[in-house]
Chain A
Amino acid sequence: MARSITRFLFIRLLQLIPTVLGVLLIVFILSRILPGNPIVAILGPKATPENIERVIKELGLNKDYLTQFIEYLGKILTFDFGRSYIMNVRVRDLILSRLPASFELVITAYILAVIMGLPLGVIAALKKGTWVDDLVRVIGVIGISMPTIWLGMVVQIVFGIYLGFPVGERIDPLLAPKPITGFMLIDTLLEGNIHGFADALRRIALPALTLAFPLSGLLMRLVRANMVEVLLSDYIRTAKMKKLPQNIILYRHALKNALIPVVTVMGLYFAVIVTGDIIIETIFSWPGIGRLVYEAVMLRDYMVIQGTVIFISLIYVLVNLTVDIIYFYIDPRIKI
């Protein structure tokens, strides 16, 4: 049967629905088992008896659990994540306002991780057994063992305190560009605002590199392992028999095969980046969703915590779906 992307998408989306429902269910359950009185927890310091009454009616907490869940589902599906009573703002608005900062940071980190990790992994495989390989393996294992918290702090101490790198904003407010895409790096360029671009670059450099380092370690190791396996396979021997030029064997035959499993894993690595992102944004005071999570936990603002968990999980699901689609296109053996 011919492979069709629509068929593939259709089946994938069908499989996604129960998973997404499950995620929403888990968050729902968690939100209802808060210690003590959940409403007190949600309201925090504003938990006066009148407010409690009002909130119970607003959130429908006096109804039975099934109705609650259905209403909750309805709200989520219309992107209504409720209100944070502690911060007095709609959760959705809060998340959306912080989104561009995190998005830019995460994408930059992903790109940096690929630039750093991929070529090193390939070189290590090609030069297996030499000092180059050993060096890459050392960097790799250090990368994955390095707790982001510690690395972030060390980087801050060295670069932030001793070398005076700026911290806490995405860009000097005086140099801020008109928000077109929401990405500082792009918007400044679009305006021809070179000073702004340089400033934004300097500010994003440290958090992005710190975020990218563990990821690049993971990539280095994975790419190396896959390449080594591929280089030992029979079809590489066939390519050598065919007396093909070295770079053709490397790119067309070896890399093409070795990188396929790497692509799938890249989607899973999003979870790793999320972990690092929360920490990095906290340490570097980057105004994104990661720091929002930290703030919400500090304030015990459960509505925001709930909202961010749902939001990030949905993004995660989307990322993996995208990866699956890419995978479908690059591996001819996949049928559905």
Chain B
Amino acid sequence: MGFFEISPETKDVLVRFLQPSTILGIAILGSIIILGVLIPLISPYDPYATSDNVLLPPLSSGPAWPYIFGTDSLGRDVFTRVFYAVSTDLAVALITVGLAASIGMVIGLVSGYFGGAFDSVLMRIMDVLISIPGFMLAIAVAAALGASLFNAMLAVAIVTIPIYARLMRGVTLSIKEQLYIMAAKEAGLGSLRIIFKHVLPNALAPLIVQSTLELGNAIIYIAGLSFIGLGAQEPQPEWGLMLNVGRKYLREAWWFATFPGLMIFLVVLSFNLIGDGLRDALDPRLRGTIRIKRSRLWRFLKSET
């Protein structure tokens, strides 16, 4: 195979991944990220600076360029704030999920690999965490720790840990089954390294798929907590917080809350689309199920002698 050629298996995975919906998801997310980097650099408006141009509708003219999304109750440009929030919300989501995933995977690995008392105790704790509806637990934790974005992140991370723990445990257990057959040959030495060589690669696919889902969930939860007042605080640009404040002005200034909400929707949507594409691409059972068009059939038949 040449340098730029890819194996048919990889090609198959790529074809299944790059469906129209997944490409759309990548496009949306990409644009948002690009704008999230660009706008803060080029916008003439300071997201924190208040002004007298309060509650102006979208596309009204302002001192620099027009207020594309209008202004909020403190005269700040909604457009600028919405895109400043991209880095806030995405960073928050990534950190929260990253934290939850790392801790959760370790718990799941230990639980699945060592079994016995470890397993029972750890899984019991996970069960208890899951028994409290996620958002309620997040509220309880955030309320107990105090209202701040950081605490909201912790709260959501705690709620997300059991999902990763269960995932990892499942993978570990199924690999353990197979390994006992192989262990006969490998004399069980360095089993820890064997586990790392076998368990982690197998966990990679479900981990990635789950994480795209959890990233979307994290954004929604944190926005929700901010909406209730337990997350980000003024004057930080964060979509959930903007929704909270914007709600009061729903009648007079619909744009205040609508645009941040739209952003949350688009980001979560793109995560879900990408996640779906990943799931289809990485599911081993779907290998080789793309249909060939009818035109190929005719060519095949005609070439027969």
Binding site for B on A (CB under 8 A): 18-20, 22-23, 25-27, 30-31, 33-35, 137, 141-142, 144-147, 149-150, 153-154, 156-157, 161, 270-271, 274-275, 278-279, 282-283, 293-294, 297-298, 300, 302, 305-306, 308-309, 312-313, 316-317, 320
Contact = CB atoms under 8 A, between A and B. Distances in A.
Contacts of B146: 35
A327 to B, nearest CB: 17
A31 B144 contact: yes
Nearest to B230: A297
Nearest to A221: B276
A22 B125 contact: yes
Nearest to B246: A153
Contacts of B228: 278, 282, 293-294, 297-298
A157 B254 contact: yes
Contacts of B198: none
A142 B268 CA distance: 9
Interface of chain B, main secondary structure: helix
A149 B227 contact: yes
Interface string B213-251: 000100011011001111000000000100100110011
Interface stretch (B49-57, B103-111, B129-137): B129-137
Interface of B: 21, 124-125, 127-129, 131-137, 139-141, 143-146, 216, 220-221, 223-224, 227-230, 240, 243, 246-247, 250-251, 254, 257-258, 261-262, 264-265, 268-269, 271-273, 276
A92 B264 CA distance: 36
Contacts of A19: 124, 127-128, 131
- In the A-B complex, list the 4 residue pairs whose CB atoms are closest, starting with the nearest: A150-B261, A22-B128, A271-B133, A275-B135
A270 B251 CA distance: 32
Contacts of A20: 131
Contact of B140 (A146, A283, A309): A309
A146 B265 contact: yes
Contacts of A306: 140
A316 B143 contact: no
Contact of B135 (A150, A157, A274): A274
9 contacts: A146-B265, A149-B227, A275-B221, A278-B135, A278-B139, A297-B229, A305-B139, A312-B132, A316-B133
Give the residue among A25, A141, A145, A270 with the most B Cβ atoms within 10 A: A145
A33 B132 contact: no
Given A20-B131, A26-B132, 15 more contacts: A35-B144, A141-B273, A145-B265, A149-B264, A157-B258, A274-B135, A278-B135, A278-B139, A278-B224, A278-B228, A282-B228, A297-B230, A309-B139, A309-B140, A320-B131
B127 A279 contact: no
A24 B269 CA distance: 36
Given A145-B216, A297-B229, A302-B143, A153 B243 contact: yes
Nearest to A229: B285
Nearest to A294: B228
A274 B136 contact: yes
B113 to A, nearest CB: 23
B145 A23 contact: no
B139 A297 contact: yes
